[in-house]
Amino acid sequence: MIAAQLLAYYFTELKDDQVKKIDKYLYSMRFSDETLRDIMARFRRELENGLGRDTNPTATVKMLPTFVRSIPDGSEKGDFIALDLGGSNFRILRVKVSHEKKQTVQMESQIYETPEDIIHGSGTRLFDHVAECLGDFMEKQNIKDKKLPVGFTFSFPCAQSKLDEGILLTWTKRFKASGVEGMDVVKLLNKAIKKRGDYDADIMAVVNDTVGTMMTCGFDDQRCEVGIIIGTGTNACYMEEMRHIDLVEGDEGRMCINTEWGAFGDDGMLEDIRTEFDREIDRGSLNPGKQLFEKMVSGMYMGELVRLILVKMAKEGLLFEGRITPELLTKGKFETKHVSAIEKSKEGLSKAKEILTRLGVEPSADDCIAVQHVCAIVSFRSANLIATTLGAILTRLKDNKNVPRLRTTVGIDGSLYKMHPQYSRRLHKTVRRLVPECDVRFLLSESGSGKGAAMVTAWAARLADQTRQIAETLAEFRLTQEQLLEVKKRMRTEIENGLSKKSQDTATVKMLPTYVRSTPDGTENGDFLALDLGGTNFRVLLVKIRSGKRRTVEMHNKIYAIPIEVMQGTGEELFDHIVACISDFLDYMGMKNARLPLGFTFSFPCRQTSLDAGILVTWTKGFKATDCEGEDVVSLLREGIKRREEFDLDVVAIVNDTVGTMMTCAYEEPSCEVGLIAGTGSNACYMEEMRNIETVDGDEGRMCVNMEWGAFGDNGCLDDIRTEYDRAVDDLSLNAGKQRYEKMCSGMYLGEIVRNILIDLTKRGFLFRGQISETLKTRGIFETKFLSQIESDRLALLQVRAILQHLGLDSTCDDSIIVKEVCGAVSRRAAQLCGAGMAAVVDKIRENRGLDHLDITVGVDGTLYKLHPHFSRIMHQTVKELAPKCNVTFLLSEDGSGKGAALITAVGCRLREQEQKS
């Protein structure tokens, strides 16, 4: 017993002694955590260089865009062929993805050899061989008559400008076929298939094996956004934000980047950690000076690295008593599979003895322990180095997502990772140590990269079809220059009908006279009360206007809500609520006893008979109070004040918000003679020649006309450009068949049009995994502010997704891209339609005045115009294109239409005083 313990103790001492000796000898292959973090930082810089437009040409880590834009989402289905070329064998798979109760994948595959003379021969021979194998496979599968979509896993660095193209940059591993570098491998394969003529194939995607691995694992775990190969060669890919990929146009969504990290260090970046053995491996390789990182870590070189170390140690008498045999000196005799066998914990030493004996070196027990430790140092170095490059990718993903902790999955494949007994454990441990803020799940790809290639192909086939169908849907919202000119022409016709006495009754664009005969002249003076009713809020304002050298306007206001039950109750309730709000405001300002002149901004169609009388034609924008339509709203307000018996007011003017906006801007800019509201609703007014307003007596001067253009198209004149979505929104609105133009271009309805399109696209399976949520069924969820946020150029896609998720829509990044596209199409059309209407107005004013060229200012207000990132720009552009003889300046009304109401009241008081004097 004691003898056995002594022997064990002696053996442990011996082992420790050998280990220390080897550690000292291979000190340069062992790294501290500080060194590993430094390498990680270097690789992070290389990643960024590869992504940058200016730095990419000289970057060693090429960061190649793959045009794979998403990982599998579980909705893929179909029958596909996957080719896998890049390792020692060439595989062809048939992958059937079906949905019965759940998604299932059936795979049948066959392996074909790639002989040395073919991979070192001409490119033509190589692709003829691939085409021949594919023909044989299709024959055996009995599918030669079918044209199945093909995914091609091609495990070499390729530049891509689309998914179905791959320009080979350089051969790696053992491949060296001539005439292929710089060529599109898809074209070469298609050419070889065409030459045979006995079958047809639709190559839809070429992917790197790393991408295939990520997609294979992504099928099982949707968190998977990194793919790694650690086998014959090594490489990684990951999902990068499009906004960081300078080499590809667009900044929406994500794209998988094939890092080609094997070339890390080709610029000398790793010289301080490369050893004499690494340099010797490189000198004897097919591609000296290239793929230096790969040569330090991958399976193709690991056995050879160990052999070179053993040779040197034997030469120095540190191993095998200095014996060197021809076998030990033969390149390739010590393979990576031997490293894996020797590092097995139980039988490793006996395997070492067996392998070394075959090399003829007659190893002692000491030699076996030493060789086992050499293998451990070389393979451990590989795991450590891979951990640094993977760590850099993980920290980049974490930073891209701007999260304190990253939860992600890394899909992984490769013979070294799978076969080596210690490799995976070492790699995981080092990664967790280097990036403790990342929770990483490592998922082994059970079926290589073939399933992944099929997934990419399924995605590509579906995407091509989906993109085409979405484009067809949104094409209905794209208006040509001819269509817009036609809209302008029709608006002009409707304007003339509204102004003409004989057609006014049947005209849709009512062209209501406002009895506002002049814009402010600067002499307005006094204290005025203004009311502003037109949306879900009601404002009461006190406006103090001072004339003289320094004109000033001082405003005090308070906002009151109008509950929906009041908006849709009785007229008496509505006006009692308004008067109660005025009472509260006068108390608040301490002005209950003053009889102030009042201007009432009332943003609904009114037929006016004088400045202070307006008969409500019809409610719009969700108002439905009874006993108001056909009544004079000024009288209704005066009656409400009388019922209250608390105060008295002098109601001087009733004004539309559009007119109020024009007056507000005209006070600042005298050339302002048009008003436009582009907000909850849409409307315009302008100064028309009295001679053209047949519904009002007199031909002298001008009068502001409230167009009420929201009703343009109510007679069917826009039916040719209305879509099914416009009709659906109209049918479900409170005023079906009315305000059709407004429903195509105002903030109140744009969100509803978007929602209807999204429901349709979801039903067709293009969005939200085909699931129509309760939220999506809810009318009114897409407010204008959300459309404005979604379309903001400054918003990253993740933020768009966050907005959609906040709205209760479980959205992916791909969904977010489509939603943004839909919002863009709807708001662009709205801006163009609004611009076409405005072009008709300014051209009419120009013609009224007999001018070749008109300079004019339009006063504008409204949330859509103010908040939407593109609406104003597109509208301005449209006006410019459709009315080229008009130079139109748009002036934003900073103070809403309340100030305008006060100014109209002031102008009204001034004119009243002048009349009284005369």
Report the pLDDT averaged over residues 171-186: 86
Which position has the higher pLDDT, 306 or 4?
A: 306
Report the pLDDT averaged over residues 155-164: 84
Q: Are the CB atoms for 685 and 674 separated by under 8 Å?
A: yes
Residue-wise pLDDT for 296-353, tens only, equals 999 999 999 999 999 999 999 889 988 999 999 999 899 999 999 999 988 989 999 9
Residue-wise pLDDT for 618-640, tens only, equals 888 788 899 999 999 999 999 99
Closest listed residue to residue 681, CA positions, set 657, 701, 697 = 657
Local structure of 130: helix, strand or coil: helix
Buried b / exposed e over 293-332, threshold 16 CB at 10 Å, is bbbbbbbbbbbbbbbbbbbebbeeebbbeeebeeebeeee
Whether the pLDDT of residue 456 is over 50: the answer is yes
**What is the helix (H) or strand (E) element at residue 745, kind and residue range?**
helix 740-745
* Residue in the structure block whose two tokens are 């045999």: 325
Report the pLDDT averaged over residues 555-574: 91
Whether the pLDDT of residue 594 is over 90: the answer is no
Which position has the higher pLDDT, 853 or 747?
A: 853
Whether the pLDDT of residue 2 is over 50: the answer is no
Whether the pLDDT of residue 669 is over 60: the answer is yes
Closest listed residue to residue 451, CA positions, set 75, 84, 65, 66 = 84
Q: Residue 712, Cα to own-chain centre: how many angstroms?
A: 35
Closest listed residue to residue 655, CA positions, set 387, 900, 309 = 900
Residue 530: both structure tokens together: 């203004």
DSSP string computed for 153-212 = EE-S-EE-SSTT--EE----TT---BT-TTSBHHHHHHHHHHHH-S---EEEEEE-HHHH
Q: Tell me, what's the pLDDT at 643?
A: 92
539 is catalytic: yes
155 is catalytic: no
Distance CA 690, CA 407 (A): 71
Q: Tell me, what's the pLDDT at 220?
A: 83
Whether the pLDDT of residue 1 is over 50: the answer is no
Cβ-based burial of 907 (10 A; exposed 0-12, middle 13-18, buried ≥19): buried
Residue-wise pLDDT for 187-242, tens only, equals 998 898 888 888 888 888 888 888 889 988 888 888 999 999 999 889 999 999 98
Which position has the higher pLDDT, 280 or 287?
A: 280
Q: Tell me, what's the pLDDT at 850?
A: 96
Instruction: Label residue 10 by pLDDT band (50, 70, 90).
Output: very low
> Choosing from 539, 607, 829, 846, which is the catalytic residue?
539
Q: Tell me, what's the pLDDT at 449?
A: 67
Average pLDDT, rounded, for the chain: 88
What is the maximum alpha-carbon separation in the chain?
135
Beta bridge partners of 105: 97
Whether the pLDDT of residue 4 is over 50: the answer is no
Q: Are the CB atoms for 877 and 890 separated by under 8 Å?
A: no
In the chain, CATH 3.30.420.40 sits at 64-220+446-462
> Choosing from 155, 603, 827, 872, which is the catalytic residue?
603
DSSP string computed for 362-382 = ---HHHHHHHHHHHHHHHHHH
Q: Tell me, what's the pLDDT at 427?
A: 97
Q: Tell me, what's the pLDDT at 16?
A: 65
Which position has the higher pLDDT, 99 or 192?
A: 192
Whether the pLDDT of residue 95 is over 90: the answer is no
Instruction: Label residue 465 by pLDDT band (50, 70, 90).
Output: confident
- Percent of the chain whose pLDDT exceeds 90: 51
CA of 205: how far to CAs of 229, 262, 455, in Å?
20, 23, 10
Please report how many Cα atoms fall inside a 13 Å half-sphere around the Cα of residue 651, on the Cβ side. 26
Whether the pLDDT of residue 14 is over 70: the answer is no
Whether the pLDDT of residue 536 is over 90: the answer is no
CATH number among 3.40.50.11900, 3.40.367.20, 3.40.50.80, 3.40.190.10, domain 17-58+268-443: 3.40.367.20
Distance CA 78, CA 105 (A): 10
Which position has the higher pLDDT, 96 or 414?
A: 414
Q: Which of 55-69, 354-368, 372-386 is modeled with the greatest confidence? A: 372-386
> Choosing from 282, 657, 726, 843, which is the catalytic residue?
657
Residue-wise pLDDT for 738-782, tens only, equals 999 999 999 889 999 999 999 999 999 888 888 888 888 888 888
User: Which stretches of 488-620 are assigned E, i.e. beta strand?
Assistant: 512-513, 526-533, 537-546, 552-561, 597-602, 606-610, 613-616
Q: Tell me, what's the pLDDT at 100?
A: 64
The contacts of residue 436 (CB under 8 Å, 6+ apart) are none
CATH number among 3.40.50.300, 3.40.640.10, 3.30.420.40, 3.40.50.1370, domain 64-220+446-462: 3.30.420.40
- Percent of the chain whose pLDDT exceeds 70: 95
Local structure of 746: helix, strand or coil: coil
Radius of gyration of the chain (CA): 39
Q: Tell me, what's the pLDDT at 796?
A: 67
Q: Tell me, what's the pLDDT at 9?
A: 43
End-to-end CA distance of the chain: 134
In the chain, CATH 3.40.367.20 sits at 17-58+268-443
pTM of the entire structure? 0.66
CA of 841: how far to CAs of 685, 704, 882, in Å?
9, 12, 11
Which position has the higher pLDDT, 463 or 42?
A: 42
Q: Which of 103-107, 249-253, 354-358, 619-623 is modeled with the greatest confidence? A: 354-358
Report the pLDDT averaged over residues 380-395: 97
